[in-house]
Every structure is written in C-alpha cells, then in structure tokens.
Structure 1
Amino acid sequence: MTSTRPVTSAEVRWAEAGELPGLVAVEHAADGVFAQMGIAFPAGTTMIEETDDPSRVLVAGAPPVGFAMIGWVDGLVHLDQLAVHPDHGRQGIGGRLLEAVCDHAASTGSAAVTLTTFRDVPWNGPWYAQRGFTVLDPAEWGPELAVLVAHERELGIELAPRVVMRRLLSGEAGGSGPR
C-alpha cells in the first residue's frame, strides 16, 4: 500500500542558502495560525529573514514546508524558531524538526536545548512539555537568555504569557525522552 503523505515532508536536513528566502512564506503562514488565539505579531522582519547562515537552519521537505532555526545562548543550543506551513501541519513535521535539533545539540556537546514560547498556546508550551521540555524559573536563566527575553519584549513579541523552557539531553532528570 502506498502512503498518501508526501515523502518530501518527512525529510529533515540542513538548509541550502538558496532556500532561506523561501522560508519567509513558511514563517508568515505559520505565524498566521496564531490569529485563532488572538495573537497578531508586530510588523517587521521574520526570524528567518534575520539570518543568512544555512548552517543554523534545519528544513523539512523539498521544497521546505517547515524549518527550525537554532543558535547558541549561554553555551547551549537555543531553538530560535520552529515553523511548519499550516498546509502541512499535524503530520509530525514539527516533531521531526525538534528531534533533529536535539540530536544536533547532543552531537555538538550541548547539555540541553532552550527556547522561548507562548505558555498557553496548545502547539507551543504544552506541545514542548509533551516532548520533554520544562519551564525554567527566571533565576535559572543565564545572562544571554535574560537579554534575549528582554529583546523579545522590546520587539513586542510578548503578546500572551511566555515562558523559557529547557530540555536536558543527558542524565536522569529531564532526559531527551523517547525517540
């Protein structure tokens, strides 16, 4: 029996430089889904428009239908952005991208992956919690993470309660969970 799911949606790989401009449409479409929660992002550049470095971006599909953009914050891999085009939602693409980020982080020696997200949006805070992320108290933030959160507030991104989350990649407490 042949699967009806496009094979291209399952493939997670590093982006090519020429693919970065096309990811803007993916991010805009993914951001549009937040309107159902009453969240409308302020005008300005998207996260993906702020990088020209494909080594920071994992993509799913060819052409890409989702991406994860990463950086380093306080010596840990930080998930700057995870976006899947809503036409390709609920197919596990976001989960595969997230696992690829965690696998990459572990391979580089990062003890954890951090991120900032909306606390109550079902496909944000609760979704990450189901995948092994826990909320960090501000006292647990490093100096770079504190600056990043302050910068998000300055940009007007805190349109609903936000949290900082972390997933430990080794050890007993908060390990990476099932693969």
Structure 2
Amino acid sequence: MVRWAEPDELPGLVAIELAADQLFEQVDIVFPPGTTMIEEADDPLSVLVEGTPPVGFALIAWVDGNLHLEQLAVHPDHMRRGIGGRLIAAVLEHARAAGAPAVTLTTYRDVPWNAPWYTRHGFAVMPEEEWGPELRALVENERELGIEIAPRVVMRH
C-alpha cells in the first residue's frame, strides 16, 4: 500500500536509492558519488512510500506549477511486483487532488526502465520550448552534478 513516509523512515530510503542506482551499471551508467536525491528530503509529505519498512519511494516537489517526480526508486529485491506502477499511480492521484495541471520528470531516454517505462505509464517527452524556468534550472543542475551521463529527456503526464 502506498502512503506518505514517516519522518523516521527518510534516512532509510537512501539505501533503497543506492541499491536501485546500482542497476544502471548494467547499461554503463555510473553516478558520481554524493548524488542521492532522497538525502535532500526533509519533509515526509514530499515522499510517497510502499511497504513497512519501505521498499520503494517517490520523491515529489513543485516545479513551474506542476508536480515534479524528482526520484522513483524500488529496491532491486522487490522489483517486478508492480511497486513502481503503484507509486506512479499515487503520484498522479496526488497531482489531481492538488490541482496540478501536469506531472513532470527527467529521466534517461534509452534505459528500458526509464523513459520507455514512463511512456507505458502515460508520460510523453516534453519539448524543450515548453519547459518553464524552474524546470530548465533543474535540468541544468542535473548536468552540473554529472547526472547527464547518457541522453536524458523531460517527460510530462
């Protein structure tokens, strides 16, 4: 069941993100050290989780008036059980309830469990000319952090 994270669960989510990030090594993507996004989360109401203790999470924020999915991670030991899909559904439901016109995200274009997976969940590539200033700054920050190791896209639902 997807729910909001409890404050004491936030530190434990780092291990989920790091474990999920190791899967990228299969496609020759190795992240620079110190690039975990969940460590920046200090508000449990910005993190949806599944499981007790959590085995997956969705980190969200507001960007240009849209709900933005900053990070989706499921521990590899719990993948292929629909957890990611349930987390996405919860993010979309929260966006609707909050009156967000869209949900945006950035992801790797060619990694099978990234852009192609989000496409199956109703997301489409968002043309650069439609990016707002906050989204543009977010993409630039990802580049500066060294996350853009392979082609990335912005997507919108």
So what's the TM-score if we normalise by structure 2? Answer: 0.99
Superposed counterparts of 1:87-126, under 5 Å: 87-126=77-116
Quote the Cα distance in structure 2 between the aligned partners of 1:32 and 1:91.
19
Counterpart position of 2:127 = 137
Counterpart position of 1:13 = 3
Of residues 14, 32, 43 in structure 2, which corresponds to 1:42?
32
Aligned sequence identity (%) = 69
- Deviation string for 1:111-163 (max 9, x for gaps)? 11000000000000000001110001110101110000000000000010000
Counterpart position of 2:50 = 60
Quote the Cα distance in structure 1 between the aligned partners of 2:41 and 2:77.
24
- Shift in Å, 1:102: 0.4
| 2:108–2:151 CA contact under 8 A, matched in 1 | yes
For the residue of structure 2 that corresponds to 1:20, the secondary structure is: helix
1:153 aligns with 2:143: yes
- Shift in Å, 1:45: 4.4
Quote the Cα distance in structure 1 between the aligned partners of 2:152 and 2:73.
17
So what's the TM-score if we normalise by structure 1? Answer: 0.87
Instruction: Report the number of matched residues.
Output: 157
The runs of 5 or more residues in structure 1 that have no matched partner are 1-10, 168-179
| 2:56–2:84 CA contact under 8 A, matched in 1 | yes
The runs of 5 or more residues in structure 2 that have no matched partner are none
Radius of gyration: which is bigger? 1
- Shift in Å, 1:46: 1.1
CA RMSD, 1 decimal = 0.5
Of residues 46, 67, 70 in structure 2, which corresponds to 1:77?
67
